[in-house]
Amino acid sequence: MNICVIGQGYIGLPTAALFAENGCNVVGVDIKKEVIDDLNKGIVHIEEPGIPEAINDAIKEGRYVAQLEPAEADVFIITVPTPYKMENLSCDLSFVVEACNSILKYVKKGNVIIVESTIAPGSIEETVQPIFEKEGYVIGKDLYLAHCPERVLPGRIMYELIHNDRIIGGVTPECTDKAAEAYGIFVEGELMKTEAKTAELSKCMENTFRDINIALSNELAKICAEIDVNALDVIKLANKHPRVNILNPGPGVGGHCLAIDPYFIYAKAPETAKIIKLARDTNKSMPDFVTEYVEKIIARYDDCENSKIAIFGVSYKGNTGDTRESPAFEIIANLKENGHDIEIFDPHVENEGYHDFKNTIENASLCLILADHDEFKNLDMNSLIKEMKNPIIFDTKNIVQNVPDEIILYNLGNLSKI
């Protein structure tokens, strides 16, 4: 089977790799020439276990090629970004529309066209379907159109694409069946057949559910900071209840799912989706909340107007280099605007402006942990004591344990003690 995957990012590239790994001939399409050039050399631009090996094997066996333009295929899979529009928080389908238009001259009768990108309910039937119908195709007879969203965790993408259950939402039952046949090539989880609009809303609700639960824990952290209770102790004790599972609070929500997808539902019914919007507002407020308490710590322990702050981690997900929508950048921007000298250390993110551990902490008044990388769970405490101006840690990911007496540790549980 010939597969053409539009978009070679965090979803498109592993999807292409798995189809190629299972005997398909795959064309991976992206608009970035440098990405295409690197991929054809076997250089993978995202940090994710298993992808480099799979892509290099596919290249050697002639089953994968990356290019700027689509090619004829049996199945076209669209995995492009879908941001939200700032003016009304609705789903921005411009990249999806552009991708659909880019394949029009390559599409032929009998093809399967799948949109994996997360989209608002109704997007397939209202926006995508008409693009192909205007060309004279009958959906469900000439072309088979479906929405098949992914549900994967960075760091485990290759495994979860294979083993997770997959929603298959066709415009017609025939579309659903054809899309299921394609994913049956490598998916070992259940292929759950439904209609397109149900698939669209199901994906959005999966991420909205998680966003709301994170917002509950973040709101709890704010409340506890006001009333002098340790939020982490509250969560630990409450979670002893057999039917309670409160998540840990954090500096905000990142990624291209939780931080965006709830808006797609809200924009469809803004007068009704009040809980969804409030949860989003709560999670978006966390960078300012973290900034506020950084300033309180600095004011208490340092009399310098432009204190140096050592930032540990900018990726939104631990042990990955994925920085999409990371709240770390808003926090950093806030602190720079307040006049602080910022140094950044993230062993998973390549950036010429970032530094190593020693240079980042040297003469710093505060170590601010914004990512839960394994490297940060067991820090060299002796170096912190020796190199920092004030050996203080503000751990917004609640991962640091057992600090020596010489180091002051704040987290989202004990902020009332500042």
Pairwise CA distance, residues 148 & 178, whole Å: 12
Task: Tell me if residue 296 is catalytic.
Answer: no
User: What structural domains does the chain harbor?
Assistant: 2-195 (3.40.50.720), 286-417 (3.40.50.720)
Which one of the listed residues 203, 308, 317, 397 is annotated catalytic?
203
Which one of the listed residues 148, 175, 224, 257 is annotated catalytic?
257
pTM here is 0.91
pLDDT, tens digit only, all 418 positions of the chain: 999 999 999 999 999 999 999 999 999 999 999 999 999 999 999 889 999 999 999 999 999 999 999 999 999 999 999 999 999 999 999 999 999 999 999 999 999 999 999 999 999 999 999 999 999 999 999 999 999 999 898 889 999 999 999 999 999 999 999 999 999 999 999 999 999 999 999 999 999 999 999 999 999 999 999 999 999 999 999 999 999 999 999 999 998 889 999 999 999 999 999 999 999 999 999 999 999 999 999 999 987 778 999 999 999 999 999 999 999 999 999 999 999 999 999 999 999 999 999 999 999 999 999 999 999 999 999 999 999 999 999 999 999 998 999 999 999 999 999 9
Lookup: tokens for 247: 């998540």
**Residue 123 vs residues 60, 137, 199, 368: alpha-carbon distances, Å:** 38, 18, 11, 41
Q: Among 374, 365, 341, which Cα is nearest to 355's?
A: 341
Task: Tell me if residue 203 is catalytic.
Answer: yes
Q: What is the pLDDT of residues 350-376, one digit of tens each?
A: 999 999 999 999 999 999 999 999 999
Q: What residues contact residue 9 under an 8 Å CB cut-off, 6+ apart?
A: 30, 46, 79, 81
